[in-house]
Amino acid sequence: MKKRGLKIVALLMVSVMTVGMMAGCGSKKEEKSDGGKTTITLGMWDVKQSPFYDEAIAAYEAEHPDVNIEVQITPYKGGEYWTKLEASAAGGTAPDVFWINVLHAESYFDGGILKDLSDVAEEVALEENYPEALVEAYNFSDQQIGLPKDFDTNALWYNKDIFDKAGVEYPTDDWTYEDLVATATELKEAGLEEGVYPFVCPVDFQTWYYPTVFANGGWILNDDKTETGYADPKTQEGIQCWIDMIDQGLSPSSSVLAETSADTLFGAGQTAMVLAGSYMTPEYLTNDAINKSIDLVEFPEFNGEEPNVINGLGYAVFEGTKHEKEAKEFVAWLMSEEAMKLQGEAGTVISARNDAQHFFADSNKEINLAAYTNHADKAVPLPVCKVAAELYDLELSKLKLAYAGEESLEEVCKELKISADELLGTME
């Protein structure tokens, strides 16, 4: 099987040589364009965030009349963003500043195409103003190669219309997993409309089973990323809880969910409750079929702990940029209180800066968006390594057998650990 992580490193090594040759030819010399202005390119993938950048860039350019910011949007779907980024990096033409996530950070660091932003981190007081988990996610060998832009956590959304018709009380922030099961059972016994489910349990690592695995004292990766924790009974208990809900008929079967996603079912009014990352908020709130009847609460407690996993995006600067000074200045501004406030008020993502997180929650007073930001500091970082994408795919391929009832979770996890540990060995 082709290992994407190794492929990336190989490609980026070509990039390093390319950038080096370009430097020898004087290509890193500062160049001016657009009527004497310096043009800085920003690579991103989410068009829904364009309104924020339109406003932010206008403000930045007003303060920096010698700089022009050009946005390049490439779709994330199908890996198009990363494919284009890797190819442009190899050719020395990557955007000056671009979005990066924790899944790619280490491979790109090893590939040598990310500027060390430790000086910018010091300028913006990164450790003081940003969550420790996000700061550390982009720090390798004491180099801060990414600066936290935003983050996502998970919460429980519910459809009030379905609850009202069933005569069942709404969820609350102090719910436990047992409350979730009890209410889902009550909804089922109330007799929901055909094709409507109380809850939904897909094979989803970040939003469903990782939070409960960690809350239960289980683990996925050890500290040095050489071993997986799938064989640990505590890990398996954190996964089994969702399979139990399928077995009790409180969720559609895995075969149904293989055809229709949990988000699609909730968006169509076909499930009373769903867990969702904060990045789903804009989609739900612009869905006319449900947006007048939905709200959310915090992720229900599990084993006495409030489960959650935190993940986020960061800003990186291309090692081969011809405009290092301007690129770093732009990133520093994007990390500022002013820019993070604008981003939070847009209501699309949660700004990573500690004093700006509440702007996302305050962006819509009609619903409880604070469910995402309350206790975010206690959320566990998404476990990542150089072969994280392959690891997640392997989990899916194995765990779906347990979710479908074809094999016991214990047997599946035994097999999964063997394969996953072998995969980790390819990083050596």
The arithmetic mean of pLDDT across residues 211-237, rounded, is 97
Same domain membership, residue 69 and residue 29: yes
One domain for residues 277 and 210: yes
The pLDDT of residue 32: 53
Same domain, 87 and 136: yes
User: 44-82 pLDDT, tens per residue?
Assistant: 999 999 999 999 999 999 999 999 999 999 999 889 999
Return the closest-CA partner of residue 268 out of 337, 195, 341: 195
Q: Are residues 375 and 389 in the same domain?
A: no
pLDDT digit string, tens, across residues 95-150: 999 999 999 999 999 999 999 999 999 999 999 999 999 999 999 999 999 999 99
Mean pLDDT of all residues belonging to the chain:
92
CATH number of the domain to which 148 belongs = 3.40.190.10
Tell me the whole-structure pTM to 2 decimals. 0.88
CB atoms within 10 A of CB 389: 19
- Please indicate, yes or no, whether residues 210 and 245 belong to a single structural domain of this protein: yes
Which domain range does residue 198 map to? 154-307+385-425
pLDDT category of residue 34 using cuts at 50, 70 and 90? low
Looking at the structure, tell me whether residues 13 and 86 fall in a common domain: yes
- Categorize the per-residue pLDDT at 176 as very low, low, confident or very high, splitting at 50, 70 and 90: very high
pLDDT bracket for residue 35 (50, 70, 90): low
Do 148 and 172 sit in the same domain of this protein? no
Give the residues across from 73 on adjacent strands. 44
Residue 3 pLDDT class (50, 70, 90 cuts): very low
The per-residue pLDDT for 36 is: 81
Q: Say whether both 12 and 129 belong to one domain.
A: yes
Do residues 148 and 163 share a domain?
A: no
SS3 for 145-193 is: CCEEEEEECEEEEEEHHHHHHHCCCCCCCCCEHHHHHHHHHHHHHHCCC
pLDDT at 78: 87
Domain match, 175 and 234 both: yes
Residue 97's φ and ψ, nearest 5 degrees, are -125, 140
Structure tokens at 333: 């501004």
Q: Which residues does residue 71 pair with via DSSP β-bridges, in sequence order? A: 42
Q: Are residues 147 and 68 in the same domain?
A: yes
59 and 205, same domain (yes or no): no
Query: How many structural domains are present in the chain?
Result: 2
